[in-house]
Structures are given as C-alpha cells and as structure tokens.
Amino acid sequence: MAEETLKTTAEAPATTTEVVTVVPDTVPEKVEVTAVVEKEGPPESDVAEKKEKTSESTSFKEESNVAGELPDPQKKALDELKALVQEALNKHEFTAPPPPSKEEEKSAEEVAPVKVEEEETAAVTTDTSETVVECKKEETVAEVKEDVPEVKEPVPEVTEPVKEETEAVKEVTEPEEVERKIEAIEETIVATVTEETPTAPQPAPEEVSIWGIPLLADERSDVVLLKFLRARDFKVKEAFTMLKNVVAWRKEFGIESLLDENLGSEQEKVVYMHGTDKEGHPVCYNAYGEYGNKELYNQTFATDEKRTKFLQWRIQFLEKSIRKLDFSPDGICTIVQVIDFKNSPGPFQWELRQTTNQALQLFQDNYPEFIAKQVFINVPFLYLAFYKIISPFFTQRTKSKFVFAGPSKTAETLFKCIAPELVPVQYGGLSREGEQEFTSSDSVTEDIIKPATKHCIEFRTCTLIWEAKVVDYGVTYGAEFVPAAEGGYTVIVQKSRKIVAGTDEPVICGSFKCDEPGKVVLTFNNQTSKKKKVLYRIKTKV
C-alpha cells in the first residue's frame, strides 16, 4: 500500500509546503498513488477566477437506441416510418428521378404547344390492351344494333296478326335485353384479352444503403431511422422526406465514389480524430488556427475549385469517420467535436466563413444526430457575446450539446469529458505523438497546487520514469533524489526552473536509477495568487 506523509516547512510566513509521498508496487507498470490534500477555505483568488466568462449548457444525455426501451409514441413513429420506407423501396421511389427544377418546368411550358401532336399520338399509342377492348366493344354494339330492326311506334288501328307480330318484335328489341346482351359480350371480350395479355412480373424491392447500413436490414437500420426521427422531433412524414432527400443528395454528390478518391493530406493538421471521451465517443478536433498560415489558407480557399475540393475532403473525412462507428443499438454512433478558435483567422476572411458555413449546412441537412457534444475552446469574448444573442433561437436539445470555454479554461473544460491522458499536449493533456514510455492506458493523477504553496510529490523507489505537466504557467519545477541513509547526499535530478506559457517542452519528463534506497521528490512552487493543476504519472523502470 502507498505510504502517506505530510510535512510542513517554515521557509516563509506566507508560504506552506505540501508533500505527497508515493510508493510504487513491486509489479512493473502499476503504481498506486495517494495524495494528501490539506482542507481549507477557498482563497479570494478562486472567487475572482470564477468571474471569467465561460458558458456551458446543461449536459446532453443521449437517448437509448434500443427499440424495446423507447416510449410508446416513439415506437409507433418508428414503425410508421419503417412502413413508409418499405413502401418506397417496393415502388423504387428512392431511385426515381428527382422532380424537375423551376427552370426546367418553365422551359417545358414554352415548348409544350409545339409538342401537342406528339403527346396526343403518344397517348393514343399507350395502353394497347385497353384500346383493343374498347374497339371490340364498339364493333360488337354496332353488330347487335344492325341485327335489331328499327322499332316504330304502334299504329292505333291494326289487325290482330299485326299486333301479335309487333309484340314479338318488342320482346326481341326491349332496351334492357339489349343492354344485358352487350354487357355479356363485353365481359367475354375483356376476359379473352386478359388471358391473352401476359402479366408482367413485379420488380423486387430496391436496395438502398446509407453510411454502409442497408435500410430495413436489421437493428442497425432502426438506429439510422431514429436519427432522422429525432432530427424532426418524431414527425414521421418530415423524417421520411428528409431521408429521401439525403439519399438523393448522396447519389448526386457521389459519396460512394468519393470514398476512394485521393484528395491530399494538407488538411490533416486542421481536422483530425484523436482518442475518445470518458463515455467512449470518438473525438474530432478542428484547429482553425492552422489557417493562419497564408500558404495553407490560399491553398484551401483561394479559388472556387479549391473550395470545392475542401468540401469534398471534409465530407470524405466525415464519411470515413462515421463508418467506423458502431450502429448496434447499444453501440457508440455519435462523435464529440472540439472546435479550437486559437489564432483562427478573423470573421472578415469571407472565403473561410463562406466555405465553413456551406460545410455546416451540408452536415445539418445530411448527417442528423451525429454530434454527442460540441466543445468550443479558446473562444474569444466576442464569440461568447454573439452566442448569447443567437442562443434563444436554438432548441434546448441543441443548446445542451454546446460547451464554451475561454483560453484559461480550455484544459479544465476538456478534462470534464476527456481523460487527461487522451487530451493532446497543446490543450493541456499528456497525449502526444511519438509516445514511447507511456500509453493511453497509463492513467494520470491530478493534484491541485494552492496559491503561494510549494507542492511536493515523493516516489519511494530508485528506478523509475515519470512525466508531469502543469496546466497553466507561473510555476517553478525541480526534481531531486533524497537517500534514506542518514548523512547521505541529496542528488539534484532536474534543476529548478520556471515553467513558461508557450514553452516548447509542454510535458516534463524525467527518469532516475540508483542502487541505494531513497526517494525521488518532484517540487512545484506556485508563487502566484491562483491555484494550479498538475498532472503526473510514473512507471517503474525495468
């Protein structure tokens, strides 16, 4: 078990010292760390720090995608939407040509008088089976009428034989009798034509897939349909219309062929996936500050052709990311978006603003309910003020997904939803490229350095490696080895130095090996009036 000690030195009346002693277990790569934190009331600096303007809505909680767990109205809406989709698949409505545009309709009206005769001819030549029936009907009626002699009104004064002959003719030429004979002949003709005309086989339902998931295939299809229903507040007809529009857009945009295209790698530092949040959602970072590089900016937005290529790349990146998600009812099928405004071009860069707005519109129209949370970091004050103005126009569901943080609150905000070991170093975490000693599975310990306090972390072992990072600046750091034997000499492992903001060494790394018993002490001296946070992790060196 970890041994805990707390020592206080009286270097200055206004300065206290915290010592946290940590003893690693004998098993390599597993270290038990226990920190002793002194209880005291919050200093005035903490109260002042809370006044910094940040905005965070009530946290969004994802709904269940398991059909059996849905409320009854939502189950009913899902069943109705599935019925509409099945009917559309049977009628091949998803592959039907799109409705004509207004310009096409206008041109068609102008050409219509010229093509009247052609349309009439086409109308005459259609439905041949029905035409044959009608012709045969008319011929049969004519034949019957020819066989029936013309009936004249009876003459008042006639002899008895003439009267009998007239009554016989009446019996033959009675209108009702003629109609019955005609109907019988018509039925015979229709039956004959129907038997002679072969019935065309019904076409099989069309197959439509979206994001690699076939519609109405299995439980994954329910998850896809629920996204459209939630995007339209479970209004079935509106959700069905949206689904048809998305399928049509994907064909028009050529999504399937776009996945295999090589669109370059110059945007990989701007938009990239890195790690997951605490709930397992993949995290996508958008670093717009990279466009401060004029060469990259012009390469991306200088012409219409380049802007179109950027949109294609952005859609391709999103499509590939979505296809890695788990669309099973209990799976993770949403993404956390982190938007970094640090050093981003100003609002007057109309090419960037126009292209990003166009991309955002495409996402909203064709990728419903794929955002679990949207975190805006390094947000300037003007953006926060603008959001407060437009936020009343957002639904509560949308606002609950938004989180805003100013520059000094970036790391703290990210740590609430992402583990520090998975946050990139440029945002205050310990994850970096080319990591060798530590991996994302090595957990990080967080300690608070109080204002005007010297905070010490002790490791009672002689062979280990460590890394640490202070979230913020204005702290002095040093490391030394203190032998256990009396009269031994303290060894300075790392000289005391001040951690400066924007340093090229965001993570403090160190290692020490010694044959004699003792402890390694990391000292963090916070001389500012604000509390700081330090992240660290250690590993026994083999």
According to the model, what pLDDT value does residue 161 have? 47
CATH class of 55-98+210-405: alpha beta
Per-residue tokens: 477: 């750091």
From 43-47, 348-352, 363-367, the region with the lowest mean pLDDT: 43-47
Contact 373, 417 (CB under 8 A): yes
CA atoms within 13 A on the CB side of 64: 8
Contact 490, 480 (CB under 8 A): yes
Residue 280: left if φ>0, alpha if ψ -120 to 50, beta else—which one? left
Give the residue-averaged pLDDT of 504-521.
Answer: 81
Please provide the average confidence, as pLDDT, over all residues in the chain.
76
Angle of helix 236-253 versus helix 350-366 axis, rounded to 10: 120
Q: Which of 423, 405, 417, 524 is nearest to 473 (CA)?
A: 524
User: Which has the higher per-residue pLDDT, 416 or 188?
Assistant: 416
**Cα 177 versus chain centre, distance:** 73
Which CA distances in Å does 57 have to 344, 391, 411?
Answer: 24, 11, 18
The answer to whether domain 16-52+441-540 and domain 55-98+210-405 are alike in fold is: no
According to the model, what pLDDT value does residue 486 have? 83
Give the residue-averaged pLDDT of 511-530.
Answer: 88
**Cα 131 versus chain centre, distance:** 55
CATH architecture, range 16-52+441-540: Sandwich (2.60)
Query: What is the three-class DSSP state of 475?
Result: strand
- Cα Rg of the chain, angstroms: 40
The domain limits of the chain are 16-52+441-540, 55-98+210-405, 127-196
According to the model, what pLDDT value does residue 375 have? 94
Residue 204: pLDDT above 50?
yes
Query: What is the three-class DSSP state of 24?
Result: coil
Q: Which range has the top average pLDDT, 137-151, 351-365, 427-441? A: 351-365
Q: Sign of torsion, CA 170 173 176 181?
A: positive
pTM recorded for the entire structure? 0.70
Give the residue-averaged pLDDT of 297-308.
Answer: 91
